[in-house]
Structure 1
């Protein structure tokens, strides 16, 4: 385990987060993130996401990663495999050596045959033939060199210098539907129902407690500061649209269903005024009032939250004015 691997593990433990939670934010599989805490030095794109999430200085972390012995040793192993390929003279030994080189590079990258085959847009069984001794056609050889960072011309010259060479005859790419059919089936998790009658800030707080997470950990996952998150849980502020989407994704809620729930909650506050009038002997003004109230209720869900809040503010002013007039009488 390198210093960088230890830093990643210690930081996760300090904020009280699970491997699964951070893997979701990093867009990685849980076992991939687990390897970040063991011996894997990730490529630059993953390293940048890691630094952005943990608020680390990328240049400092990059220098630390470059100094890690495991990174250098892996590069030396690949360079040694390329040089050893040139030292062999007979095709009988050359083909297995190139196949071994592909296999070692895949294992070093922590990939299975299905993953590499998907990146090359070929069938897994066709890729397995390369690791068994089949020399890939030129277009796939270019992809392999690009994938593993090899010099294409150097690899091509060394392969062409050998005789005889076994090349494949069938076309490697498969139709998209057939490739998707070969991939393992993934069962989608059930999305929990959002309970009615509970305010949004109370629902967020309950969900955090049920997930056994602290305020600092959830704030980090949502990429906001702790004070702002505490204001959300206390009901002082309502999260903006993008933040609300992240909250729904974190707790497994349906974003659109949550919006409808909030609109129904706001409408229920207005509903008693709509239904409180006695329609048995209504005057002209009462009938007009009821029509206005029914029109507001009918169009309530078709306007934005900001427009709803504006209307509610006006209604509160009207209510206070009526109370003032009542006291004067």
Structure 2
């Protein structure tokens, strides 16, 4: 976390760079370096709040604000009409969490411990829910590939909104499930040795301030995407599916790896799968609803994104079967992620 705070120097530098109209590529890099520590500070603030709210509420806040960075970036991309970047970032977040974060966590943890275990029951519930969520994303895309183009028009816009409403409804029900009817499945043993470093007021103020500054940096970041991709010859798919999720989730990713290294694999797996689940069931519907204020965005992923999403979720379900992990499983997940990343790079 100390290293992340050193990166805060890029916040004023990126703002000055934007005012001076420096090259888009440099501005993209500066704003990205500024976003990473801001996301980390938001995570630290929610962790401090969890000392006052309890571990279950704290875990929910961590997951929510863990995806807040991507939501804010996606909002400005949506406003700028960069729909392909938005949709690619949704797919990239799920793929990155399941393959990159979970794989790196298993590798790092597995290098220290021969075998690691996690709560099989809670992960099975989350991974099954994630499978349903991805099915909800794939059906509209399959619809567009099988129905004649002249029949789509307004019908498809309505379908996207209906699917978003259904997924958001399931998200609300999943919260009721985890906080009330089946809260025993998600029981978290409180860390007796940990104490709050900040007051509740300070934590809330830091969270609000970091969110506001993050909004400013996200607008700069998104504004540099198109000219940067043109200058470097990168595709918007690669930026959305690889770069944006890594930048937006860098702090959360590091937390998962640290937890795995401390043999707290339950936390690491829940961060990876829980964050993916919230991305699909909460962030995606919210973005669909927000797009109605500008230009309606449809939930249409290209064939390669769909295949990558489906296989990633199937892997997550496979990992949940035995409730154990080792370093080799981590290497396998990372290898699949590397193949996907390279494929999108040359797309």
TM-score scaled by structure 1? Answer: 0.26
Larger Rg: 1
Compare the two structures and name the one with the higher helix fraction.
2
TM-score scaled by structure 2? Answer: 0.25
